């Protein structure tokens, strides 16, 4: 039973906020700004300044007391913290509606992610192009993943095919899986999985709504 192997990543909440900092900082730089303080940043992001300071501390960047941080430094520090300087190539498995949406999302470039091909089992999709990416027969996944030297896979297939598709990815040498299915994958130790559960956010929203209503 080869699972449970992933060591725990710490400071998850801070890590999750990094892309938003990055987005805002990039915007600021475009607007000609050079420095920013935690106070300003906090206001933009609806956070407490102390949270921002702690988050940024994580990237190792150092600001100037009385002044703030250099925006350029911050951007670089966050990118290298996330290793988003070096573009990662990924393949996407499952060209359904979510898969299509992800293929169409242009923001990934900014995050150092480049989806180079898609795979599906549906003959009507195989051979077609979706947002400029060719859709290959899923049978060819191990072969192509290995030949293309990809090490990230984005999994958007129906639940029942999740584990099988993951196995094929791993066979093809992929060691990072972004898992949008409703299945906890069983993977060897060297493979890293990030599961995305869309309904989690809805659950949180529901609870927030409940609690608010109950109080008033």
Which regions of the chain does DSSP assign to beta strands (E)? 35-36, 69-70, 88-93, 113-120, 129-130, 133-137, 152-155, 176-179, 192-195
The site partner of 37 among DNA, a copy of itself, none (C-beta below 5 to 8 Å per kind) is: DNA
Regarding 176 and contact with a copy of itself (CB under 8 A), the answer is yes
Regarding 69 and contact with DNA (CB under 7 A), the answer is yes
Nearer to DNA, 40 or 98 (CB): 40
The site partner of 160 among DNA, a copy of itself, none (C-beta below 5 to 8 Å per kind) is: none
Question: Binding-site residue total for a copy of itself (CB under 8 A)?
Answer: 61
Chain residues 185-214 in contact with a copy of itself, contact rule CB under 8 A: 190, 192, 194, 196-212
Count CB-CB contacts under 10 A for residue 143. Answer: 13
User: CA 91, 25, 13 angle in degrees (round to 5)?
Assistant: 65
What does each C-alpha distance from 206 to 13, 164, 200, 203, 209 come to in angstroms? 20, 33, 10, 5, 5
* CB 37, CB 30: distance < 8 Å: no
Regarding 33 and contact with DNA (CB under 7 A), the answer is no
Residues in CB range of 103: below 8 A, 6 or more apart: 92, 95, 115, 118, 130, 131, 133
Q: Candidates 7-15, 115-123, 138-146, 162-170: pick the segment binding a copy of itself (CB under 8 A).
A: 7-15
The site partner of 39 among DNA, a copy of itself, none (C-beta below 5 to 8 Å per kind) is: DNA
Q: Candidates 31-39, 60-68, 79-87, 161-169: pick the segment binding a copy of itself (CB under 8 A).
A: 79-87
The site partner of 75 among DNA, a copy of itself, none (C-beta below 5 to 8 Å per kind) is: none
Regarding 46 and contact with a copy of itself (CB under 8 A), the answer is yes
Tokens read off for 171: 């066979």
- CA–CA dist 99, 18 (Å, integer): 24
Pair type for strands 192-195 and 176-179: parallel
What does each C-alpha distance from 160 to 53, 80, 183, 193, 201 come to in angstroms? 43, 37, 8, 18, 23
Question: Binding-site residue total for DNA (CB under 7 A)?
Answer: 27
The least CB distance from residue 55 to DNA, in Å, is 8
Regarding 68 and contact with DNA (CB under 7 A), the answer is yes
R_g (Cα) of the chain, nearest Å = 20
Regarding 51 and contact with DNA (CB under 7 A), the answer is yes
Q: What is the contact surface with a copy of itself in residues (CB under 8 A)?
A: 3-4, 6-7, 9, 12, 15-20, 23, 44-46, 81-84, 88, 96-98, 100-101, 104-105, 107-108, 111-113, 152, 175-176, 178, 182, 184, 190, 192, 194, 196-212, 215-216
Q: What is the contact surface with DNA in residues (CB under 7 A)?
A: 8, 10-14, 36-40, 48-51, 53-54, 56-57, 62-69
């Amino acid at each position: 039973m080869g699972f449970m192997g992933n060591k725990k990543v710490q400071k998850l909440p801070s890590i999750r906020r990094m892309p938003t900092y990055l987005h805002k900082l990039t915007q600021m730089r475009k607007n000609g700004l050079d420095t920013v303080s935690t106070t300003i940043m906090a206001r933009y992001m609806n956070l407490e300044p102390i949270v921002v300071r702690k988050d940024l501390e994580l990237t190792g960047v150092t600001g100037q007391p009385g002044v703030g941080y250099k925006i350029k430094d911050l951007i670089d520090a966050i990118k290298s913290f996330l290793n988003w300087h070096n573009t990662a190539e990924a393949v996407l498995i499952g060209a359904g509606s979510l898969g299509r949406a992800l293929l169409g999302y242009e923001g990934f470039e900014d995050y150092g992610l480049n989806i180079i091909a898609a795979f599906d089992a549906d003959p009507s999709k195989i051979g077609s192009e979706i947002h400029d990416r060719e859709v290959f027969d899923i049978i060819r996944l191990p072969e192509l993943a290995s030949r293309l030297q990809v090490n990230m896979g984005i999994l958007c297939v129906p639940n029942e095919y999740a584990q099988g598709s993951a196995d094929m990815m791993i066979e093809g040498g992929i060691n990072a899986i972004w898992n949008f299915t409703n299945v906890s994958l069983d993977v060897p130790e060297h493979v890293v999985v990030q599961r995305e559960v869309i309904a989690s956010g809805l659950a949180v929203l529901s609870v927030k709504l409940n609690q608010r209503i109950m109080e008033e």
